[in-house]
Amino acid sequence: MARMRLEDLPATGTCDLTTIGRRSGTERTVEIWFVRVDGAVHVVGTPGPRSWIANLRADPRASLSFGDSEFRVVATEVTDVSAREHVARGAWDVQPWYTAQGHSIDDWVARSPMVRLALTP
């Protein structure tokens, strides 16, 4: 696995997030947007239930792929309401896709799956 420095990542982009299926135990991959907020990499999904967040709740270990580079990460769910609003607003500031989805910022804060990803040592 490659070593990644957060400062090398752009402010936003797409990545492949691979989790372990909570029921199947097999790898599950989803292409999803990431955003950097305050230097940390976050994945924020469209409001509503998502399998990838359910998988991360069962096992927070995952891998993150950008092109041909793959990195092992651990996810921490963002649950604090003020932190969720800060991350959601940061996502809206750097990635127009979020604002184009037809949900209010309040929807994103209340119902979006949201995790912070950190590299495993």
Distance CA 28, CA 2 (A): 21
Distance CA 104, CA 47 (A): 10
Kindly state the percentage of the chain with pLDDT values over 90: 69
CB atoms within 10 A of CB 90: 20
Task: Name 20's bridge partners.
Answer: 27
Q: What pTM, to 2 d.p., does this model score?
A: 0.89
Q: What confidence tens digit (pLDDT) does each residue in 60-106 have?
A: 999 999 877 888 999 999 999 999 999 999 998 888 888 888 899 99
Q: Which domains does the chain have, with CATH numbers?
A: 6-119 (2.30.110.10)
Q: DSSP label at 1?
A: -
Tallying the residues shown for the chain, one arrives at: 121
